[in-house]
Amino acid sequence: MVTDPLAELEQDRLERLVRAVTIRLGGRSLHAGGPLHDRRLVSQGFELQEHRRIQPGDDPRSIDWRASARSRHLLVRRYRDERAASWLLLLDCSASMGWPNTTWRLAAQLTAALSFVVMTFGHRVGIALFSDQVLAAHPPGRGQAAYVAQRRLIAETRPVVAGGASRPESCVPIIGHGSRVVLISDCLRQDGMTGALARLSRSTGALELIGIAAAEAVPELPESDRAVTLVDSEDGTRHSLVLDGHTHAAMLAERDKLLTRLGDYCRRHGIRWTMAAPHEPWDWLLIRHLLAPERRR
Amino acid sequence: MIVLSAPQWLWGLALIPLIRLLHRRRGTSRALVVPALFLWRDLAPTPTAGAIQGPPDPIWWLRALLAGLLVVALAGPGWQAPASQSLDLWIVPRPSLFAVEADGRARLAHAIDAVLIALAERGLPQIRLRDLDDPRRGEAIAFADRDALQSALMRMMSQDKPAASLPPPEPQVSHWLLADRLDTSPTRPPRSFERVLAVGQTTENVGLVRLAMRRSLADLDRIQTLVRVYNAGYQPARRELQVWLGTEALATWRVMVEPGNSVNRMLTFAGEPTGLLKATLSPPDALAEDDHLELDLARIRPQIVHLDNECAEPVQMAVAAHPGLRSGARPGARIIIDCGSKPPIDERPTLWMPMGSTSGPAVMGSWTPVALRSHPPRLTAPLQPVVLPSAHVPTTPLLDTELGPLIIERVNPGTEDHWIGVGIRFDETDSAGGSEPILLLDWLLARLAGRPLIGEPLVADRATADLVIAPGALPAPSAAPISSAVTRDLTVWLLCLACILIMVDAWLHHRRRG
């Protein structure tokens, strides 16, 4: 039976989430501390953000002579961008996202809720659904109409039944210049998704990651049925073993090592990342992710 | 008792351990989809393609029971109502069972051995011997051991066989046949036998089939004898034939008898007919019982008749002239001729000839068509009747006239009360001087004696078929036990039970898969 994964995404709960994020930000920008989406457009703002030494190509009209006199160096003024930033939410639709289905439900909830929150803060948000290629995309937009369209697209999408590896780098052609990209995935790749993150980092203004660790991916089996043939949900390869507590624990340890490597990579490269369990509430997860300190690259 | 029509299918039960083995090698069928197989790939795989060795799945008991039920159903099980622990052993009581086989043992002993071995295999100690020609004649044996079987068989073979007191044959009882040969008989109903016990190997036998003697009609003081020897075997046989009178050998012949033929020898000798006349064959062969025959010469001795002095002279003359009669004293007489006026009261056979006055003119009599044992003489002269006093007992007229019965007979069945009353004055009959009174007296006295007084040969016969000891054709045993008619098929019940187990197995499988 097909159920709407966004059924729990009530409007008042979304608005409470926005208020909570606004209060916790204390007037800061949603992407405060992170790189701006387009360095060349900074000078067109009105709110002073910083001074820095003049570089080739800087407009001489932006030289702050008084500040330069105090510092004995030519300094130019930099202004906060008053225009909205452009966000792109990449939602993994590979087959592994459907095992178990709570993974997909949480991923869809996070994507739709994040779109709502970011649009509420005045930014433009686009979404791209991918597996080994871009399955569907909605261009960046803002306002109620854009949110409703994106929510409908998410609600109507399901993970592919078979095949379809997780290749977020396939979305690079549709990523706008300087866009902030949020990748929502289970990160189940043998390289721990680090290759895709490296590729995306080169094409985006900022990159964030929300990973969903499917802790309940292995069912409890009776003792008489523990000899099983495991089938990969994406490539269909098979592997026969005895599925007991020992093998389950070994698999979890392997997955934890994978996630540890992923976390180390994100820390080294200044990628804001959050790991979630499928049973966690989507709103708490978003608060935890949006308010996490953004690291410098 | 459970019986199986195709028990070879039970070998299929040997596959049940294979079911247990297959349930140890399990796990290949359940596929589990996981989101990332590479997390598992470094774990040790099972040695074979998805199958592992381990304790068998407990459901193997259910499937083994299911397989066992199907195998047993294929074997055609049936429930046979417990038959009575008795067996009808049909025998053909032929003298050949007394034949001696080559090993020196009687054929009857071999038959008893065969029966005891067969009974031991079947485990039925209770049997009923039945005569094949008379199913109700036989004997029940509670515990068939050698002595009991031998005694019962000897009684069946003897002259005074057991009474026909057995219940009719029952279809659910096993029927066996014990015989050396079975000659066809139109009066014998066809029967099926679950088992046929054939006995006998010896074939050669020569025996006496007839010993006959009579007084020589030419010389009543001499006795003529006839002896017949028959060869019932397959080879010519030479035997020594002897005729004995008491312990004295009257004659000895060496006879050569071809198979299937007989040889007659005749002998005439003079002498007082006393003692036993015997014929013997020597040396003895396989069946010694048919190597001798004997006759009692006393049966041709003259009958002692006590003649009343009041009897008419023609009667006295007739008795004196008759070679088969001899006058004697009343105590030792076999027949009494009473010429008194009262009906006889003696318990011996009596010819009552009252010497009363004539009751009218001579008449011609006519014999009453009663059951006469022999034809009376034809009377050609008129008879002078005498009024017979009332006997006050029921009588039967033998010779009747328009004036009334002239000869009456009193027979009291079961007793010696037998007399014949004659109302004829022989001394006043026109034929008194002729032969008719003698012939009439001979007929009447022979009727009282129960046999002809003279001229009848005494014969001891033996059927030639009784001399045949060669084993012959016997019916083939029936393919299926006779008692299988009461077997109830259990296959349907087993299949129903197997269907229930299949449904239980499917339910358990569905429940496991969730």
pLDDT digits (tens, 9 = 90+) for B162-176: 677 778 887 777 888
Interface test with A, best of B34, B42, B46, B63 (most A CBs within 10 A): B34
What pLDDT band is residue A41 in, cutting at 50, 70 and 90? Answer: very low
* Among B97, B73, B53, residue whose Cα is nearest residue B10: B73
Q: Are A37 and A85 in contact (CB under 8 A)?
A: yes
Q: What is the mean pLDDT of chain B?
A: 82
Collapsing DSSP states into helix, strand and coil, what is residue B172?
A: coil
Give the separation between CA A176 and CA A140, rounded to whole angstroms.
9
Cβ–Cβ under 8 Å, residues B130 and B89: yes
Lowest mean pLDDT among A32-36, B129-133, B192-196, B300-304: A32-36
**Higher local confidence (pLDDT), A35 or A220:** A220
Average pLDDT (B18-37) is 75
Q: Provide the pLDDT for residue A93.
A: 93
Average pLDDT, chain A: 82
Q: Is A232 on the interface with B (CB under 8 A)?
A: yes
pLDDT (tens digit, 9 = 90+) per residue, A267-289? Answer: 998 898 999 888 889 999 999 89
Residue B185 reports pLDDT greater than 80 = no
* Total CB pairs under 8 A between chain A and B: 108
Mind giving me the DSSP string for B98-120? G-B-TTSSBHHHHHHHHHHHHHH
Average the pLDDT over B216-241 and give the result.
90
What three-state secondary structure class fits B485?
helix
Locus of tokens 């990523």: A175
Determine the distance in angstroms separating the CA of A225 from the nearest CA of chain B, rounded to an integer. Answer: 7
Closest by Cα among A297, A186, A95, A126 to B34: A95
Task: Using an 8 Å CB-CB cutoff, list chain B residues near A186.
Answer: 35-36
Contacts of A230 in chain B (CB under 8 A): 31-34, 37, 40
The closest of B132, B133, B131, B153 to B141, measured between CA atoms, is B153
Q: Which residues in B lie closer than 8 A to residue A248 (C-beta atoms)?
A: none
Highest mean pLDDT among A134-148, B133-147, B393-407: A134-148
pLDDT, mean of residues A156-175: 87
Q: Is B43 on the interface with A (CB under 8 A)?
A: yes
- Best-predicted range by mean pLDDT among A148-157, A158-167, B36-45? A148-157
Output the furthest CA–CA distance in chain A (Å, rounded). Answer: 83
Specify the pLDDT at position B190: 75
d(CA A73, CA A64): 10
Average pLDDT on B177-191 reads 80
Asked if B33's CB is within 8 angstroms of A99's CB, the reply is yes
Instruction: Tell me the CB-side half-sphere exposure of residue B489, using CA atoms within 13 A.
Output: 9
What pLDDT is recorded for position A82?
Answer: 53
Distance CA A77, CA A71 (A): 13
- Do A229 and B34 count as a contact with CB atoms less than 8 A apart? no
- Give residue A24's pLDDT band: very low, low, confident or very high (50, 70, 90): confident
| Residues listed for chain A | 297
- Interchain CB distance below 8 Å, B32 and A237: no
> Pick from A268, A90, A118, A59: which is nearest to A185 by CA?
A90
Q: Work out the average pLDDT over B394-415.
A: 81
Across the interface, whether the CB atoms of B46 and A190 are under 8 A apart is answered no
Report the range of poorest mean pLDDT among B203-217, B359-373, B458-472: B359-373
Residue B265, pLDDT above cutoff 70:
yes
Please state which of the ranges A40-49, A98-107, A255-264, B467-476 shows the lowest mean pLDDT. A40-49
Q: In this predicted structure, what is the pLDDT of residue B458?
A: 86
Top mean-pLDDT range of A109-118, A162-171, B194-203, B325-334: A109-118
User: What is the gyration radius of the CA atoms in chain B, in angstroms?
Assistant: 42
Q: Is the pLDDT of residue B371 over 60?
A: no
At residue A59 the predicted structure's pLDDT band, cuts being 50, 70 and 90, is confident
Out of A97, A99, A254, closest to residue B39 by CB:
A254
pLDDT at A33: 37
Output the six-digit token pair for B31. 């596929």
C-alpha to C-alpha distance for B303 and B157, rounded to whole angstroms: 36
The predicted pLDDT at position A285 comes to: 92
Cα distances (angstroms) measured from residue A193 to each of A166, A261, B372 = 8, 10, 136
**Residue A126 to chain B, least CA–CA distance (Å):** 27
**Other beta carbons within 10 Å of B172:** 15
Distance CA A67, CA B334 (A): 187
Buried (b) or exposed (e) across A253-266, using 16+ Cβ within 10 A? ebbeebbeebbebb
Nearest to A230 among B32, B42, B52 (CB): B32
Least confident of B242-246, B303-307, B421-425: B421-425
Distance (Å) from the C-alpha of residue A112 to the closest C-alpha of chain B? Answer: 23
